[in-house]
Structure formats: structure tokens, C-alpha cells
Amino acid sequence: MTKPPLTLFLAAPNGFCAGVDRAIKIVEMAIEKWGAPIYVRHEIVHNKFVVDGLRDKGAVFVEELEDCPDDRPVIFSAHGVAKAVPAEASRREMVYVDATCPLVSKVHIEAERHFADGLQMVMIGHAGHPETIGTMGQLPDGEVLLVETAEDVASLSPRNPDRLAYITQTTLSVDDTAGIVAALNARFPKIVGPHKEDICYATTNRQEAVKAVAPKVQALLVIGAPNSSNSRRLVEVARANGCDYSMLVQRATEIDWRAIEGVSAVGLTAGASAPQVLVDEVINAFRDRYEVTLDLVETAQENIEFKVPRVLREPA
């Protein structure tokens, strides 16, 4: 039986960013250095495939520090942690390695700097997301006001509307965030902020690439986990840019082939926490069913790398 033809437009960059690469290396190197088990507070990155692979090597994933013993090293996930977490680990004299992405740490430092200048903070982010919890937790309770939408800006009641600064989660939608920043500037003309927002290079680049692909395709798949903020934003970006059928899939087995029957152009990307093997798996699943022409749509090149903490570069 001959296979129907299909063009697969692969958005690039896609997949692992420098912060994810570093966080996974940290867990692997910690297991090498100290042996198993190594505890990891929260999924190191939001990807089941990555987490399962590290678990097989000897990592134990827990949600809270209180679930870790005192005498085994613990790693904090790429999303960052509230100040109270390393403070408690130090109090318990635990060995810990912080795998917070340096671009998240940069936002933590920004928040502290504004706080030291006497400004109250507004954080643009998603309630309950570990990065938002970690970033808000850099300052004392109540110092950071959270806004999730432009509508939320109207109901903010800051101590002094002239003494405000804002920060953002790193994995937000660039376009939605611009709308929220505009609402903040309109209501609080003196609010201080970063040059644009704190969305990282990887999030920005993956969204740009999806914008280039979305108008070319009848369906777009994003490889990523349901709890991955940056991956879910890619699904929304595709929809907002003309591709109505845009779906998050964790791997090839989740593709709804019936739903895309008859299409001739499909877009594909992967969130910053999705490994290359899953991208290859999905491409191969398409090749099994279609005569695939692979078309790379590359809107940026990335060559950023982050070093692992010194403790892991030194011999045991």
C-alpha cells in the first residue's frame, strides 16, 4: 500500500534549552559523584521521560525537602525554589546542589534588588507553578503581588502605586505578557521593569519558530508534558497564529491519527524540557504512516551553554 504524502514542518529551535541541559547534567553528575540515591526536589524538568530515565539511574524524586533524609544529597529543580528551601537544607546540614536555571536566578536577583530599593513587586506568572512559587518566595510573604492576566491588573492594591516594580516568569507567552505589561504601565506609569520582560531566550525562540510554522500547516503537535508551562504556551501560540488544531503530546503514542487524517502539512515542535529522542520518535511515527518530506523552519540559532556548579566539577 502506498503511503500518502505529508510535509512535516519542524520548527527550530525546539527541545532542550541550556537550563534543562544543565539541570539534567547536575543530577547525572551528582549520582556519579556521590552514588545513589540522590534526592531531587520536584521533577528536575517537567518531562516524565527525563524523570523516569534519571530514576533508573538512582534519582529519587520528592515534592518537599521534608521527604528527604538528612544524610543524602538533594538537588533543587530547574524551576527554582523559595529562599526558605536552601535555608532549611543548611539548617539540617544537608548537601544540596541548586539546579535552578541561571536565567531564573537572574529574576530572583532582580526581585531582591527592587526590594532593597524599597519597591513593592508585581510578578506576572501562573499561580501554583513552581517557578512562580520560587520567585515569589525570594521575598517575605505579601511583598510580591501576582498577576496572571491583564484583567488582574485592575484589582491590584499596592501599598504605594508610585513605588512598584515588576518581574515575570521565564516561560510565559511573549504576546500575552506584552499585553499585561501594557496594562501595568497604563495603570502605574512609574512602575519599574526589565527592558521588556524576563521571558528567556529559549521560550522566545521556540514561540517565534512556531509563529513561522503555524500559518503553513493544518495541524501542529508540541511534544511536551501537561505540566510544562513553556510547552503549553507553544500550543497556544500555534492556535493564536492560525493553526486551529494544535495539540500537546507527550510522545508518539499520544498522537490522535484519526483527528489529522487527510492533512498534508503538519507542524512539529518540542518544549524546552522534551528530549530529542521523543522528537525522533514522533518523526518516525509519521514516516511509518506517510511519505514524509521534512522541512526545517529555523528562525534562530542557539549556542548558549551553562556550566554546572563547581562542586560537581571537582573530584569527590
The residue ranges that bind ligand 0CJ (CB under 6 A) are: 19-20, 45-46, 78-79, 101, 104, 131, 170-171, 228-231, 271-273
Number of H-type helices and E-type strands within the chain: 10, 12
Catalytic residue among 131, 254, 261, 302: 131
Do 273 and 22 touch, CB atoms closer than 8 A? no
Asked if 230 interacts with ligand F3S (CB under 6 A), we say yes
Report how far apart, in Å, the C-alpha atoms of 237 and of each of 102, 251, 291 are. Answer: 25, 20, 28
As measured in angstroms, the least distance from the Cβ of 247 to ligand F3S is 21
214 counts as binding ligand F3S under rule CB under 6 A: no
246 bridge partner residues: 220
Catalytic-residue membership of 131: yes
101 sits near ligand F3S (criterion: CB under 6 A): yes
DSSP state of 2: P
Contact range with ligand F3S by CB under 6 A, out of 57-65, 97-105, 188-196, 246-254:
97-105
Report what 191 binds from ligand 0CJ, ligand F3S, none; CB cut-off 5-8 Å by kind. Answer: none
22 vs 114 by CB, closer to ligand 0CJ: 22
Which of ligand F3S, ligand 0CJ, none binds 18 (CB below 5-8 Å, type-dependent)?
A: ligand F3S
Q: Cα-flanking dihedrals φ and ψ of residue 285, to 5°?
A: -65, -35
Q: Are 309 and 98 in contact (CB under 8 A)?
A: yes
Length of the chain: 316
The Cβ-side half-sphere exposure at 300, using a 13 Å CA radius, reads 17
Does residue 209 contact residue 310 with C-beta atoms inside 8 Å? no
Question: C-alpha angle 66/68/70, rounded to 5°?
Answer: 100
CB atoms within 10 A of CB 112: 14
Site for ligand F3S in 153-172 (CB under 6 A): 170-171
Tell me the closest approach of the beta carbon of residue 255 to ligand F3S, in angstroms: 24
- Chain residue whose CB lies nearest ligand 0CJ: 228
Q: According to CB under 6 A, which one of 103, 144, 164, 237 is a site residue for ligand F3S?
A: 103
Beta carbon nearer to ligand 0CJ, 44 or 94: 44
Residues that bind ligand F3S (CB under 6 A): 17-20, 78, 101, 103-104, 170-171, 200, 202-203, 230, 272
Catalytic residue IDs: 131
